[in-house]
Amino acid sequence: MPERKINGNRMHYQLDGPAQGPVLVFSNSLGADLTMWDAVVNQLTPSLRVLRYDTRGHGQTPASVGPVTITDLGTDVVALLDALSIPRVIFCGLSMGGLIGQWLAIHHPERIDKLILSNTAAKIGTLDSWNERIETVSQHGVSAIADAALDRWLTPEYSRNNPDVRTRLLNQFKATTKTGYVACCMAIRDADFRETIRRINAPTLVITGTQDPVTTVSDGQFMQDAIPNARLVELPAAHLSAVEVADAFARTLNTFLADSELSPNQPAYEAGMAVRRAVLGDAHVDRANAGITDFTADFQDFITRYAWGEIWTRPGLSRHQRSLITLGMLIALNRETEFKMHVRAALNNGVTPDEIKEVIMHSALYCGLPAANAAFHAASEVLNNTDE
């Protein structure tokens, strides 16, 4: 694994993907290392170049001597980018990584193209809670709080169903050096961006976990309100959403990155094709394009320009919201083929199977039981991959 000397300290990192692709940086949470992103990275758009690194005292990056601040951790990222000759990046940070991302976007906006803040807050925890944790770890080591930390990271249901993942994360947590963990606790304790977060001008996505006891949905809503034009997506997870719902997390990132590539002045056909591919997937669009004939060409052009280029690009609703609305209308109209297509599209837009279920349940009340019954059968075929 490659390493660089950064600010007098050896930093471990991993760089994957095409050399000319836009660079997406992942920054891990307190007590985790760069492998926490494995399941997400495997599902990202292949054109991305992905840079992951271990924060000081985590993974294979040794702890530094003395106290550490978020400024120090942010400066480490800038120095690593300089060492790798990377001028600008998309930055995605979870929890502590999200604090680092906020610092970078505030103090080095010239380095941040787009920002993803996951399961984090402008201010995490309280002075007393951090001091209590620092005291416990200083006296008894990281292992003393490991199980309690994992209970916050993952929902009980996920831990029961994925004991191997919990064990791997637990071992990863316990491998974090006491010095590095305490130093980073101090950095998080002292970081407060509640006032300065308003200076962030990069396109920003905020991801929250609906069952996150550490950084709550209300923390995400505060950031969304404070950062100009920020978007908020809620995922059904606890604190480590990038692990617990990696598929939905990756889809959310891919959708956000495709969305933010669109220019207000982009021609309707070009913008529509970009959104159509992001929502329906390249395979579907390629099949549709391959089947175009002189008879259907005008209709395909119409769909791309107006459905995807004019309506799906409007800023008033998120793609997530548009997917839910579309599913409800297609149930009411009994359009099974289109409904199945948009179930797949909804998954690409970060909609969860539970949300699809609730749309169908709601339709039973307003569209009738036969419509809901047919929708459940159609959605099940897609979700179980029996009719692909």
Of the two residues 95 and 314, the one the predictor is more confident about is 95
| Domain(s) of CATH 3.40.50.1820: residues in the chain | 3-260
**Identity at 34, one-letter amino acid code:** L
In the predicted model, what is the mean pLDDT of residues 298-322?
Answer: 84
The three-state (H, E, C) secondary structure of the chain, written as one string: CCEEEECCEEEEEEEECCCCCCEEEEECCCCCCHHHHHHHHCCCCCCCEEEEECCCCCCCCCCCCCCCCHHHHHHHHHHHHHHCCCCCEEEEEECHHHHHHHHHHHHCHHHEEEEEEECCCCCCCCHHHHHHHHHHHHHHCCHHHHHHHHHHHCCHHHHHHCHHHHHHHHHHHHHCCHHHHHHHHHHHHHCCCCCHHHHCCCCEEEEEECCCCCCCHHHHHHHHHHCCCCEEEEECCCCCHHHHCHHHHHHHHHHHHHHHCCCCCCCHHHHHHHHHHHHHCHHHHHHHHHCCCCCCHHHHHHHHHHHHHHHCCCCCCCHHHHHHHHHHHHHHHCCHHHHHHHHHHHHHCCCCHHHHHHHHHHHHHHCCHHHHHHHHHHHHHHHCCCCC
pLDDT bracket for residue 382 (50, 70, 90): very high
User: Is pLDDT above 70 for 381?
Assistant: yes
Looking at the chain, the domain(s) classified CATH 1.20.1290.10 span 268-383
In angstroms, the CA 180 to CA 130 distance is 15
Question: How far is it, in rounded angstroms, from Cα 102 to Cα 11?
Answer: 21
Per-residue pLDDT, averaged over 24-41, amounts to: 96
Asked if residues 200 and 231 have their Cβ atoms less than 8 Å apart, the reply is no
Look-up of token digits 């002189």: 294
Which of 33-42, 316-325, 332-341, 349-358 comes out lowest in average pLDDT? 316-325
The whole-number average pLDDT for the span 294-321 is 85
Look up the CATH number of domain 3-260: 3.40.50.1820
Residue 326 has pLDDT above 70, yes or no: yes
Is residue 266 very low, low, confident or very high in pLDDT (cuts 50, 70, 90)? low
pLDDT at 373: 96
CATH of segment(s) 268-383: 1.20.1290.10
pLDDT of res. 20 = 80
What pLDDT is attached to residue 315? 65
Q: What is the pLDDT of residue 65?
A: 82
User: What is the mean predicted confidence (pLDDT) over 239-256?
Assistant: 92
Q: Which residue has the higher pLDDT, 121 or 317?
A: 121
